[in-house]
Structure 1
Amino acid sequence: MNDTKVPDTATTTPAGTVVRGDSTESIHWARKAARVFTDRLSPAPDPALAETLVLVVSELVTNALRHGGGRYTLRLSAGPRTVTAAVSDPDPALPRARTPDLDGVAGGFGWHMVRRLTEALTVTPGPGTGKTVCARLAR
């Protein structure tokens, strides 16, 4: 039997998590995957970070479904100092900030919120003809 001990100062992360979706029901699974992902990180992140990641994931996959071609691939990863959510969709059009609808009918809050909640936010071409939005949060 091999009893390997991990030092208290070590940081471990679960294997990268990938979720694919093509319906509004899949938003629930993306949120759940983000929660499970942060629950498995060691050391455990601050609960506020976990909730922020869930919110950012929810907004990014919702935007991919609504404005990015109707499907997405979510990749979650973590390093010693960051947690990253990368959402790919088939539409090459860059995300754009819209004027929020204060009557609550047409939305427009998501991209503004994601930009404020993340440490870094990048948009890169691909895969294929689409794009990937990568949101990094400080751990």
Structure 2
Amino acid sequence: MHHQVLTNDSSSHGPTDSRVEFVCRPQRAAEARDAIAAFLERLDPPPRSDTVQNLLLLVSELVTNAIRHAGGVSSLRFAADRRALQIRVSDRSSAHPQDRTPDLTGRTGGFGWPMIRRLAHDVQVRSREGGGKVVVATIGR
């Protein structure tokens, strides 16, 4: 999996303006979890352990949804500043996630989108110019 780390450190404006970004294109949820773990290792100060666990679950669910319902991930981006961490998953489908009754037998799912909305402090779904969408999940640091 190819990835790129982008750092925008605006130290002249103070530490709260520092921002780190990470871009990749995972083919599986496990690759996305590995990518966010590598991203989080670079952060100083590191996020709290409960935040790390929530981020691992968020990225896994977001990427799984893109693979299952949208034909794959176009890009996966992580960003962090002193206040928040953000996951952005882009895919080629213009269909927005839908609430549905979870299948308690486990055959057809239905748990991921409600879980994403509960774990993240903010979730937005934005249409992309030229088609597709990006799901943006933000969680406090």
Give TM-score, length-normalised by structure 2: 0.83
Given that residues 20 and 81 in structure 2 are in contact (C-alpha distance below 8 angstroms), is that contact kept between their aligned partners in structure 1?
Answer: no
Q: Find the counterpart in structure 2 of residue 131 from structure 1.
A: 133
Query: Any idea what SS the aligned residue of 1:85 has?
Result: strand
SS of alignment partner, residue 58 of structure 2: helix
Structure 1 residue aligned with 2:30: 28
Change (3 A) 1:59 1:102: same
The residue number in structure 2 matching 1:50 is: 52
Structure 1: gaps (5+ residues): 1-5
What is the CA distance between 1:19 and its match in structure 2? 1.4
Alpha-carbon RMSD: 2.0
1:11, CA displacement in angstroms?
6.0
After superposition, the Cα gap between the structure-2 partners of 1:47 and 1:11, relative to the gap in structure 1 and judged at 3 Å, is farther
Which stretch shows the higher mean deviation, 69-78 or 52-61? 69-78
CA pair 62-127 structure 1, distance change in 2 beyond 3 A: farther
Match of 1:17 in 2: 22
Q: In the TM superposition, what are the counterparts of 1:58-73 in structure 2 within 5 Å? A: 58-73=60-75
Q: CA deviation at 1:12?
A: 8.7
Runs of 4+ in 1 over 4 A off after TM superposition: 9-14
